[in-house]
Amino acid sequence: MYRTHNCGELTRKDIGREVILSGWIQKIRNFGSLFFLDIRDYFGITQLILYKELVKKAFFLGRECLIQVKGKVIERSSKNLNIPTGEIEISVCHINLLNPSLSPPFTIDNKTDGNEEIRMIYRYLDIRRNPIKNNLIIRHNLTLETRNFLSKNGFLEVETPILINYTPEGARSFIVPSRTHVDKFYALAQSPQLFKQLLMIGGIDKYFQIVKCFRDEDSRSDRQIEFTQIDCEMSFVEVHDVLAFFEHFIKHIFRKIKNIELDSFPCISYSDAIKMYGTDSPDTRFGMSFVELNDLIKKIDINWLKKEELVVGIKVNEYENIHEKIDFFLKKIENKNFFWIKYLHDKTLISSNQNFLSKKILKIFIEYFKALPGDLLFFSYGEKIKTREELGKIRLKIANFFNLKKYEIFNPLWIIDIPLLEWEEKSKKYKSVHHPFTSPKEEDIHLLENNPKGIRSKSYDLIINGIEIGSGSIRIHNKNIQNLIFKHLGLSKKEIKSRFGFFIKAFEYGIPPHGGIAFGLDRLINLLERHTNIKDFIAFPKSNYGKDLMIDAPSFLEKEKLKELHLPY
């Protein structure tokens, strides 16, 4: 028997009990004739006390050696009430080395001295640390809650293929050469998109899958080349049905995992989001929405701004409390299409542009923004799109700089009415903003010929604190519209047939109206736990360069293998 108990369960009620424990040595304290060892397993840590000849046996043991001990539970003289086993220790009578260990390359404790690279090379050792282990437990709990919730609500979990054909979905696919079919290739699924739609055609009403997806893109702290989606699809739904149900789902997850009650999720149209925040994924925890000033500018004596396509400003409340930092910050974001006004507590007004902004003008702006002493105003002007984008970035910088991104707040919102198509300069073609299967809004279809960029789609994104957590759409369920969209994406009849023939064929058999969404599981947990790196929640993540540092993937293939796969060697 390796153990009668685990290292996290013995407490003062077990005092006097004979026990056997197994665990890795976390800490050794050597007092000459007396040794204290802490041993650790998945469940916790227990302190051991070794006397006399056992000390000699233990002398050669080091951190991370795996030992088995037999002994008696006794009361500890100096207690540690921070851990469940902190009131007892084991007086060891027998010690057995189950497996020795090399000295670990970094400290295996809650705080570690190992950098990310070394911890990824020895990920199995990193997983022994509580922060990583606990993250995996949280992930387990989240997926369990998800499965239970969706199953209870009539969703069926169905697995869809990973090895599929290449389909254009916005990102690059990983390609897998076929050994048995010379010169042919599979692609790894970027998402189960077409399959979940085919399941709806198959009459599966509501589907979900917690599924690995693969995209050959540069990894970042919030993106991995293989990642997990909570992928869902429903039949006979419109946009509001999907939003209502998944708002319910996200609220349930926050309640169960974090004990947080979320308020209703506001819906903001894409164009309003851009106008108010300069981005389609706004972080709304810290006000500062844009105020457009062109109408005001027309009426006041400030000629140098009159010709600008857009003049827009934001107000930062009570900046003066953190006054000493502000000049440094303003220097950092200086740009020529930008100016600021400080309204000091003593009511003096200072601006970045003393020569061009008269005292009278400053006062007009202060009144227009209803600014109070201590507030700060930022302005940006120029060409519409660029100005909004730039002020959007500045807004985020201000929030970071002044610590306005309140850690305890979660602000979810839906972005709706997202454009269907965008122009891609490189390929000189229109490209789907979401994907080619997204339905346009019926009332906008007529714009397809003359103003494709103006078409709004039935897609939606769930944004929480400025992070895209999910996105989806109502799908096209009409063969002619689907073909029309393919055509506008620059696909020839032949290409449509070869890539999507099977899909279009399925449209002929009574395709139901349907729609769905996919949530990024790694991102969702990262957000819930307020981390900034999704790797923390993935057991074996890839590095930022898409490498698995532990197994050293990707790697070269031997000539023989290349030959077998019909690849040049």
Question: What is the DSSP secondary-structure string of 429-458?
Answer: EEEESS-TTBPBPGGGGGGGTT-GGGPBBS
Quick one: 50 or 538, whose CB is closer to ligand ASP?
A: 538
Q: Which amino acid does the sequence have at 114?
A: G
Nearest distance in Å: CB 225, ligand ASP: 14
Nearest distance in Å: CB 518, ligand ASP: 4
Quick one: 47 or 209, whose CB is closer to ligand ASP?
A: 209
Query: Which 3 state secondary structure label does DSSP give 180?
Result: coil
Nearest distance in Å: CB 316, ligand ASP: 35
Nearest distance in Å: CB 495, ligand ASP: 21
Output the CA torsion 59→65→69→72 (10° steps). 80
DSSP 338: E
Distance CA 536, CA 541 (A): 8
Quick one: 132 or 469, whose CB is closer to ligand ASP?
A: 469
Output the CA torsion 256→258→261→267 (10° steps). -100
Nearest distance in Å: CB 470, ligand ASP: 8
Nearest distance in Å: CB 232, ligand ASP: 7
Which residues on neighbouring strands pair with residue 226, listed in sequence order? 214
Do 107 and 114 touch, CB atoms closer than 8 A?
A: yes
User: Which residue ranges make up the site for ligand ASP (CB under 6 A)?
Assistant: 191, 193, 471-473, 516-518
Quick one: 190 or 387, whose CB is closer to ligand ASP?
A: 190
Quick one: 380 or 438, whose CB is closer to ligand ASP?
A: 438
DSSP 78: S
Distance CA 568, CA 212 (A): 30
Quick one: 233 or 536, whose CB is closer to ligand ASP?
A: 233
Output the CA torsion 311→314→315→320 (10° steps). -100
Nearest distance in Å: CB 226, ligand ASP: 13
Q: What is the 3-state secondary structure (H, E, C) of 101-168?
A: CCCCCCCCCCCCCCCHHHHHHCHHHHCCCHHHHHHHHHHHHHHHHHHHHHHHCCCEECCCCCEECCCC
Do 527 and 262 touch, CB atoms closer than 8 A?
A: no
Quick one: 313 or 472, whose CB is closer to ligand ASP?
A: 472
Nearest distance in Å: CB 517, ligand ASP: 5
Q: Are strands 514-520 and 185-188 parallel, antiparallel or unpaired?
A: unpaired
Quick one: 440 or 516, whose CB is closer to ligand ASP?
A: 516
Nearest distance in Å: CB 170, ligand ASP: 8
Nearest distance in Å: CB 457, ligand ASP: 11
Question: What is the DSSP secondary-structure string of 253-306?
Answer: HIIIII--PPPPPPEEEHHHHHHHHSSSS---TT----EE-HHHHHHSS-HHHH
Quick one: 376 or 518, whose CB is closer to ligand ASP?
A: 518
Quick one: 351 or 473, whose CB is closer to ligand ASP?
A: 473
Q: Which amino acid does the sequence have at 275?
A: K
